[in-house]
Amino acid sequence: MKSALRMSFALVVLITMMNPNSLAEDADEKDGAKPQAEAKALDQEMKTLQGKKVNLAEKYQGKVVLLVNVASKCGYTPQYKELQALHEKYTKKGLAVVGVPCNQFGGQEPGTAKEIAQFCEDRFGVEFDMMAKVDVNGPDAAPLYKYLTSKETDPKFAGDIKWNFEKFVFDREGNVVARFNSKAKPDSKEVVEVIEAELAKKAKS
């Protein structure tokens, strides 16, 4: 009997030495916990201004993204022109400019999706991607903005959106690398330097 127990114990030790992670993996499976890849900020679903659902991580895979919450009746609205200029200059190099209309600041984006699209096209010739109008702060904020403003998910750049035309820059892997306030013009040196630095990096295979 003792001999059999010793043989069984020796067998368990041998198996564990051959695969030291097996016991931990078994424990995780029993607890229902499975290793998960680290979540990315852009791995969110949104609707375009035309109402089509898109996963941002898939749509902008391998691209540098400049995300801006926009409005049509704001003192910063002329920044649309600079955003379009960035789109024209850098889109072939891998930049995606993305506008996200929001009506939470002074009611400065009251229009329908059709009205917003028409305004952007007529006034500024906007060709870059525009998402559907959403909240960026509060309990009804879009999941993307909940992620971007939370200290738990985005500790380096967290905090409520203060006004229209705040800007986030994402690298080619979908990680936030910079945040700029409304006063920072899209074509300012500080913004362009970050964009160009990220564009110079190749996407990981």
Mean pLDDT of the chain: 87
What is the pLDDT averaged over residues 79-89?
A: 98
- What does the DSSP 8-state code read for residue 190? H
The span from the CA of 65 to the CA of 42, in Å, is: 9
- What does the DSSP 8-state code read for residue 131? B
Sequence-separated (6 or more) residues with CB below 8 Å from residue 90: 195, 199
Task: Take residue 43 and report the two structure tokens written for it.
Answer: 């791995």
3-state secondary structure of 181: coil
pLDDT at 40: 77
More confident residue, 185 or 24: 185
- What global pTM score does this model have? 0.81
**Which of 1.10.3720.10, 3.40.30.10, 3.10.28.10, 2.170.150.20 would CATH assign to domain 45-199?**
3.40.30.10
Q: Is residue 14 within a helix (H) or strand (E), and if so which, with residue range?
A: helix 2-18
3-state secondary structure of 129: strand
pLDDT band at 160 (very low <50, low <70, confident <90, very high): very high
Segment of 14-28, 32-46, 87-101 carrying the highest mean pLDDT:
87-101
**Lowest-confidence pick of 25-34, 69-78, 165-174:** 25-34
- What are the residue numbers of the active site? 74
The span from the CA of 162 to the CA of 71, in Å, is: 13
